[in-house]
Structure 1
Amino acid sequence: MRFLQYVLPLGLVAAPALAQPTSFDSYLALASEWPPGPGSVLVPQEPDAELTAMMAEIDPARIQTIIETLVSFGTRNTMSNQTDPNRGIGAARNWIAEQMQGFAATSGGRMTVEVQTFLQPVVAGEILMPTNISNVIATLKGSVDPNRIYIVSGHYDSRVTNVTNFIDDSPGADDDGSGVAVAMELARVMATHKPAATIMFAAVAGEEQGTLGSTFMANTLADAGANIQGMLNNDIVGSSTADDGTTDPFNIRMFTEGISTSETAADTKRRESIGAENDTPIRQLGRFVVEVGSNAITQMNVQMVYRPDRFLRGGDHQPFIARGYPAVRFTEPHENFAHQHQDVRVDDTGKQFGDLVEFCDFEFNARVARVNGVALWSLAQAPGTPLGLTMDTSVLTNNSTLTWTDDTEAAGYEVVWRASEDPFWTHVIEVGKVTRATILLSKDNAQFGVRAVGANGFKSPAAFPFTE
């Protein structure tokens, strides 16, 4: 086992000397540089040539076709017809599965498609009769570490004002044809490539009645011991126009829960005791997505929101969080609630209600798909997030000693750090193929993480250390 110490006698990296202020004004000028520490300013990871080419294949016209086809089935309410070939959620399910199977046919056997079906009992006020609910899942098997899994999803069921109305038209263009279009378009583009880890592309149902399909999917995977290291939920990602008519076409919100509902009370107390409330695996996944997903390739800015979801709302990421998996939700920056959960109608003032295709922005939707695509591929091509990371607190010292478990996929490791009040990692230190590093910066003054680096240059999300 190799160790690395950033200590002065070895001539390695130490904290830079702090300039000596001579007045209060000079103190203020230096405030943004505190705490001083080793390493270089973190430069965001950029997509490589293969990933850049893949993202160029994402086609707004194909996204438009997916959404328009889903809308053409009339209603996709979870309880709607499952045997009519042209109308209802069954027709939508079959069409999605056929499309996914077409993508799989181009994969050389790496992609398989499953229609995962279960019988949902009655749920008061939500499900009126026992109902079959189906998730359509395309799985692109990893070539290096197939047991490490990343998921992208949208839900293909839809609703109107009354969630139990399974008769009237329920277009569901934005909510959530747009999210299904993200998952399907990424499945099409990535099917011909070889990710190192496994990627699952899911269109789930029963979301509007309480995330029923995604709960079944999450429980099935968790009960099988699946190693899911990231789940990206896309729900209402198809419009850049707010209810006042203003547009915001280059921002996408990403909701990231803090202390997880799946943590035990003891773990939460331990986390709070070291000031790690903002360093959960979900927040680390979010930081990673911001870093790799906000660039000229995606033409998007990912806006990380410190909240599980919007007020009074929920989504398909939450069942995965409940089973201990890091998961986030993407939603457009400014929602128009006249276009969600509404009967299709025009009121006395001439205002149009309903989730109609005419309100979608397919170029925006394609950019959201690129954010997801860059994040998924970067996750799958990098080594997994380091395991077993701890901070040595056995003695009082102004140094910080980190220890972690080696990963055979990793060519090396980097220590990242930031001031405790900063939202994102700001500095990085290359430490090589080691499992221990001592940094000349006090653990009392900064937040630390360790990320794995692959031989291909892809870097994992950072792990945050608990105390030994």
Structure 2
Amino acid sequence: MKALFTLAAMPLLTAAASGDPVEAVSERELRAGVERLVGFGTRHTLSSQTDARRGIGAARRWAEARFRRISKDCRGCLQIALPEKMVSGDRIPAPVRLVDVVAIQRGTERPGEVVIIQGHIDSRASGAMDAESDAPGANDNASGTAAVIEAARVLSKQRYPSTIVYAVLSGEEQGLYGGALLAEWVKAQGWTVKAVLNNDIIGGSRGSDGKVDDATVRVFSEGPRADATPEITANQRRRGGENDSPSRNLSRFVDVLADRAKVGLDVRQIWRTDRFGRGGDHLPMLAAGIPAIRLSVGIEDYDHQHQDLRTENGRKYGDTIDEMDFAYLARVTRLNVAALDHLARAPMPPASTVEGAVKPDTTLAWTAVPGAAKYIVRWRETDANQWRHAVELPGTATGHVLTGVRVDDWVFGVSSVSGEGVESPVASAVPGGAFAPINP
């Protein structure tokens, strides 16, 4: 066996491509985007789709126009798509036309491998069905929409082996309809999705109790997979894997990335699919078996989300732009850009298996992935968060024996590394650990 390395010694991350897109993120551009979105008055899913100045239709057309302008600046590097369907439900009493706005930056080598950044554009006031009152939705979620568009602006200047998809979603506040529509549409494209970064409420640093946290961003990830079959669940109970879904490993990856990329934020991994009793547009992706995480502020301000604009007893309510922290929003956007830049250059995480019951050695096997110049076998104690040990192997390898490492005491996984040294997230060698739907 080759020499072992600690995680800190491993070259997990490389510098971004020439003309560093992380440094190109503009706080001014983000502010302009949020101001424009707030200016539509309300972006409620049931608001006007035809008014030129107010409502969801005007906001959606503005996002489309921004993507088309960015594409013009990069000589047509973005393909614009407008997935749509008629939807109805508990918060949509009569069928309404739902449209997502999607920009596709095709990969140059493996266009079927995709990483997605998304945020919902719709807003709401106190009443979930109130489509008439002003609902500026500055932090929830003009912040996420502005981050998606800014990511497209800076990353479109680069070229990547894999495809990047920038998605502005509708209908989140009415029941995650835009996320479900995108999940369906992505499946219809036949893509293999490495990761979804869902950005929802990422532009504030002060809580409703006055507490300030401008140094951390929360990353939510599922434990047991939403698409797990009874067989997978039973195997996890016997062999482990409840803490090693692709989503959880994507969270680990972003945590390490934030430190290495020096974006000015610390990731707080929240081992929960979303905030307690609440949800976002990454949930339909997870239900479809697609690795997805949610990025959100370190501390929420409940007075300034899902609230009518008003003042009561001297206390202001409403999701207004003056409650935003644009320096913080820029840092979260830089983290997204760093993750997209890295994921779009890395190969797919290889699906792997592990054996070693009643033996002193552990044997791993994995499926070779396109673009891999080498593989890294990683392992950690069962109660450890991050990977602690590793061994590098050539790109021709599809298996390895860890002599003297007993399978009972560790969790194992494998990552792939591109020819330029960019490493993928780790795919754990557990039931349901592969970065692919269990039932495609």
TM range, smaller chain:
over 0.9
Q: Could you tell me which residue of structure 1 aligns to residue 358 of structure 2?
A: 396
Alpha-carbon contact 1:42-1:428 (below 8 Å) kept: no
Q: Could you tell me which residue of structure 1 aligns to residue 436 of structure 2?
A: none
Task: State the distance in 1 between where 2:417 and 2:13 align.
Answer: 14
Task: State the distance in 2 between where 1:318 and 1:51 align.
Answer: 34
Q: Among all aligned residue pairs of Structure 1 and Structure 2, give the percentage whose two residues are the same amino acid.
A: 35
Task: State the distance in 2 between where 1:131 and 1:96 align.
Answer: 20
Task: State the distance in 2 between where 1:97 and 1:462 align.
Answer: 35
Q: Could you tell me which residue of structure 1 aligns to residue 101 of structure 2?
A: 136
Return the match for 1:384 from 337, 345, 348.
Answer: 348
- Deviations along 1:110-137, one digit per CA (max 9) or x if unpaired, are 311112222113x23x113221111111
Q: Could you tell me which residue of structure 1 aligns to residue 66 of structure 2?
A: 99
Task: State the distance in 1 between where 2:135 and 2:390 align.
Answer: 49
**Aligned amino acid, residue 439 of structure 1:** L
Residue 308 of structure 1, CA deviation: 0.6
Q: Does 1:65 align with 2:32?
A: yes
Who wins on radius of gyration, i.e. which is larger?
A: 1
Task: State the distance in 1 between where 2:235 and 2:13 align.
Answer: 35
Q: Does 1:257 align with 2:222?
A: yes
Task: State the distance in 2 between where 1:295 and 1:161 align.
Answer: 40
Q: Could you tell me which residue of structure 2 aligns to residue 53 of structure 1?
A: 20
Q: Does 1:409 align with 2:374?
A: no
**Aligned amino acid, residue 435 of structure 1:** T
TM-score by length of 1: 0.89
- Deviations along 1:1-33, one digit per CA (max 9) or x if unpaired, are xxxxx2xxxxx44xxxxxxxxxxxxxxxxxxxx
Task: State the distance in 2 between where 1:443 and 1:52 align.
Answer: 44
- Deviations along 1:235-263, one digit per CA (max 9) or x if unpaired, are 00000111222321110000001001211
* Secondary structure at the counterpart of residue 166 of structure 1: coil
- Deviations along 1:47-87, one digit per CA (max 9) or x if unpaired, are 41526721111011110110010000001000101111111
* Secondary structure at the counterpart of residue 31 of structure 2: helix
Task: State the distance in 1 between where 2:7 and 2:193 align.
Answer: 30
Return the match for 1:429 from 388, 391, 400.
Answer: 391
Alpha-carbon contact 1:294-1:371 (below 8 Å) kept: no
Return the match for 1:450 from 399, 414, 417.
Answer: 414
Alpha-carbon contact 1:40-1:429 (below 8 Å) kept: no
Task: State the distance in 1 between where 2:288 and 2:163 align.
Answer: 19
**Aligned amino acid, residue 149 of structure 1:** V
Return the match for 2:79 from 92, 112, 117.
Answer: 112
Q: Could you tell me which residue of structure 2 aligns to residue 420 of structure 1?
A: 382
Task: State the distance in 2 between where 1:88 and 1:283 align.
Answer: 36
**Aligned amino acid, residue 92 of structure 2:** I
Structure 1 stretches of 5 or more lacking a match? 1-5, 7-11, 14-37
**Aligned amino acid, residue 397 of structure 1:** K
* Secondary structure at the counterpart of residue 428 of structure 1: strand
Matches within 5 A, 1:16-95: 38-43=4-9, 45-50=12-17, 53-95=20-62
Counterparts in 2 of 1:297 and 1:236: CA distance versus 1, 3 Å: same
Q: Could you tell me which residue of structure 1 aligns to residue 438 of structure 2?
A: none
Residue 109 of structure 1, CA deviation: 3.1
Counterparts in 2 of 1:41 and 1:313: CA distance versus 1, 3 Å: closer
Task: State the distance in 2 between where 1:130 and 1:283 align.
Answer: 36
Q: Could you tell me which residue of structure 2 aligns to residue 175 of structure 1?
A: 140
Counterparts in 2 of 1:183 and 1:424: CA distance versus 1, 3 Å: same
Alpha-carbon contact 2:195-2:290 (below 8 Å) kept: yes
Q: Could you tell me which residue of structure 1 aligns to residue 401 of structure 2?
A: 438
Return the match for 1:193 from 154, 158, 173.
Answer: 158
Alpha-carbon contact 1:47-1:292 (below 8 Å) kept: no
**Aligned amino acid, residue 402 of structure 2:** I
Q: Does 1:361 align with 2:325?
A: yes
- Deviations along 1:124-155, one digit per CA (max 9) or x if unpaired, are 3x113221111111111011110011111110
Alpha-carbon contact 1:51-1:377 (below 8 Å) kept: no
- Number of residues paired by the alignment? 429
Task: State the distance in 2 between where 1:392 and 1:446 align.
Answer: 12
* Secondary structure at the counterpart of residue 130 of structure 1: strand
Task: State the distance in 2 between where 1:41 and 1:169 align.
Answer: 50
Alpha-carbon contact 1:47-1:374 (below 8 Å) kept: no
Q: Could you tell me which residue of structure 2 aligns to residue 241 of structure 1?
A: 206
Alpha-carbon contact 1:255-1:330 (below 8 Å) kept: yes
Return the match for 1:164 from 116, 122, 129.
Answer: 129
Residue 276 of structure 1, CA deviation: 1.3
Q: Could you tell me which residue of structure 2 aligns to residue 465 of structure 1?
A: 429
Q: Could you tell me which residue of structure 1 aligns to residue 276 of structure 2?
A: 311
Task: State the distance in 2 between where 1:290 and 1:150 align.
Answer: 17
Q: Could you tell me which residue of structure 2 aligns to residue 344 of structure 1?
A: 309
Alpha-carbon contact 2:84-2:181 (below 8 Å) kept: no
Return the match for 1:232 from 191, 197, 213.
Answer: 197
**Aligned amino acid, residue 366 of structure 1:** A
Residue 285 of structure 1, CA deviation: 1.1
Residue 375 of structure 1, CA deviation: 1.0
* Secondary structure at the counterpart of residue 32 of structure 2: helix
Counterparts in 2 of 1:84 and 1:409: CA distance versus 1, 3 Å: same
Counterparts in 2 of 1:363 and 1:346: CA distance versus 1, 3 Å: same
Alpha-carbon contact 2:83-2:185 (below 8 Å) kept: no
Matches within 5 A, 1:253-332: 253-295=218-260, 297-332=262-297
**Aligned amino acid, residue 398 of structure 2:** T
Q: Does 1:213 align with 2:178?
A: yes
Task: State the distance in 1 between where 2:12 and 2:423 align.
Answer: 8
